[in-house]
Amino acid sequence: MKYKCLVLDHDDTVVNSSQSIHYPAFLHTLKTLRPNEEPLTFEDFNHHCFIFGFNHLCKERYQFNDEEMEIEYKIWKSHTEVKQADAFDGWKEILTQFKKNGGKIVVVSYSESKEIKRDYLDHFGFEPDLIFAHDHGKDKLKPNAYPIHKAIEDLQISPESILVIDDMPVGYEMAKNANVDFIWAQWAYFDQRLDDHIVSSNKKSLNKLDDLFEILKII
């Protein structure tokens, strides 16, 4: 195999979670904290998170203070703990074969380890080799290259053997900061405004998971 390690985002890359969990959770937050605001569309939610980030959405657009951010977190957790997003069709076959061939799976996500482990066990029957998640602290998350460097050290792999797959710019920045290969995941949703940004990166993007079989050469 060309790649020995996949560094995967979780939400909207492996599981279809924004529409089923994170967006409804944020609507719940807005209803609680900003009941007089106009409803936020799913497209606007995704666009803002892609261009500026979720923290910017909370702190700048809606100007949540620290106390309100705590409320936002508790509402979000109340959704993630009782809901589970489906994995995108194709991941089970890809990851099962990749692991069978000796590949390593690393997850770098703003979700939390507990839910990531649950999703992998329920959907794929195994846990990732390494997880870097919300509960590990911001200094260990993308766009910081720390997860890549730690994976290289712990898994005894080379930068050339790593492929990062993510649907957000922070994943792209992490890969660029670590000088490893990157692919944009575009199978969760399509937005022309976001696609323009993706195209400008000159990095490969995929609309279909099936194309990963050929890229990973695991058949």
4-50 tens-digit pLDDT: 999 999 999 999 999 999 999 999 999 999 999 988 999 999 999 99
Please report the pLDDT score of residue 102 as a whole number.
95
Pairing of strands 5-8, 104-108: parallel
Contacting residues for 202 by C-beta, under 8 A, at least 6 apart: none
> Tens digit of pLDDT for each residue in 104-140?
999 999 999 999 999 999 999 999 999 999 988 888 8
Residue of 18, 19, 40 whose CA lies nearest to 29? 40
- Is residue 82 predicted with pLDDT exceeding 60? yes
Please report the pLDDT score of residue 218 as a whole number.
60
pTM attached to this predicted model: 0.92
For residue 16, what are its two tokens? 């279809």
Residue of 126, 90, 86 whose CA lies nearest to 107? 126
The domain spans of the chain are 5-16+86-216, 18-80
Q: Between these two residues, 72 and 199, which has the higher pLDDT value?
A: 72
Fold exhibited by the domain 5-16+86-216: Rossmann fold (3.40.50)
> Tens digit of pLDDT for each residue in 192-217?
778 888 888 888 989 889 889 888 87
Strand order across the 104-108 sheet: 130-132, 104-108, 5-8, 162-166, 181-185, 204-206
Please report the pLDDT score of residue 56 as a whole number.
95
For residue 198, what are its two tokens? 């993706």
For residue 59, what are its two tokens? 């702190």
Helices 169-178 and 146-155, axial angle in degrees (round to 10): 60
- % of the chain at pLDDT higher than 90: 79
DSSP secondary structure string for all residues of 151-171: HHHHHT--GGGEEEEESSHHH
> Cβ–Cβ contacts within 10 Å for residue 17, how many?
26
CA 186 – CA 184 distance, rounded (Å)? 6
Beta carbons of 103 and 4 less than 8 angstroms apart: yes
What are the backbone angles phi and psi of residue 123, rounded to the nearest 5°? -90, -35
Contacting residues for 117 by C-beta, under 8 A, at least 6 apart: 127, 128, 131
Residue of 28, 10, 29 whose CA lies nearest to 167? 10
> Tens digit of pLDDT for each residue in 148-176?
999 999 999 999 999 999 999 999 999 99
- Is residue 77 predicted with pLDDT exceeding 70? yes
